[in-house]
Homo-oligomer: A and B are copies of this chain.
Amino acid sequence: MIKYSVVIVDDHTLLSQAIAAMVNTFDKFKVLYTCKNGQELIDKFSESPKFIPDVVLMDINMPIMNGIETTDWISKNHNNVNVMALSVEDEDATILKMLKVGAVGYLLKDTEKSVLEKALIEIAENGFYHTKSVTSLLMKSLSGKGEEEVKLNDRQKSFMKYACSELTYKEIADKMCLSPKTIDGYRDVLFTKLNVKNRVGLVMYAIKNKIYTP
């Protein structure tokens, strides 16, 4: 019997190795190799076609190149490879982002071994696997308002990072080589765009959306 090949991408070596050990116990699957981040995976893919698996198990939070960016790359360059997200994050926005760039499944890290196996089989044979909760989330996002995708430019992100420090706006203006009045503008634009009322709101948004990591 030919086994489906799997690649695991997770910045925590021990975890990717442990999950690899687990996947290798599944009859129909075999782990090709593991990666510590998205860049490593892309390098492998580009090195040789024999490094291109049937399924990728992808963590989302990674340094250098995260799961969303990496999945996006895979969808665009190796559309026959199925990516399943495997993450601790259960935030709707993150899950949707991942599905939007082409992930064909989303599992939380606190599921059972048997569920992982079932999901892998479904994906290898049918091309997708979605839990009930993910399906209903998809429904909601399709029917309901398309989620006000907020896009921030580099200057705004940079300002957000400073806003997470103890600097005053005047000091932030200095750091960014702008007038304090311009910073006033940045802030007010972001207040309305992100729907927050004050600087603490900015800080929380920045953290929740990984613009700033404490």
Contact = CB atoms under 8 A, between A and B. Distances in A.
Interface of A: 11-15, 17-19, 21-22, 25, 36, 86, 88, 107-113, 116, 163-166, 168, 196-201, 203-204, 207-208, 214
B21 A25 contact: yes
Contact of A207 (B19, B112, B207): B207
Nearest to A208: B214
24 contacts: A11-B110, A12-B88, A12-B109, A13-B109, A13-B110, A14-B19, A14-B113, A15-B15, A15-B18, A15-B109, A17-B22, A18-B19, A21-B22, A21-B25, A163-B200, A164-B200, A165-B200, A166-B196, A166-B197, A166-B201, A199-B200, A200-B203, A203-B203, A203-B204
A104 to B, nearest CB: 18
Copy number in the complex reads: 2
B109 A14 contact: yes
Contact of A18 (B21, B107, B164, B200): B21
Contacts of A168: 198
A177 to B, nearest CB: 21
A116 B110 CA distance: 22
A108 B11 CA distance: 11
Contacts of A22: 14, 17-18, 21
Task: Specify which of A88, A166, A197 lies most central, judged by the most chain B CB atoms within 10 Å of its CB.
Answer: A166
A204 B196 contact: no
B113 A17 contact: yes
A13 B18 CA distance: 12
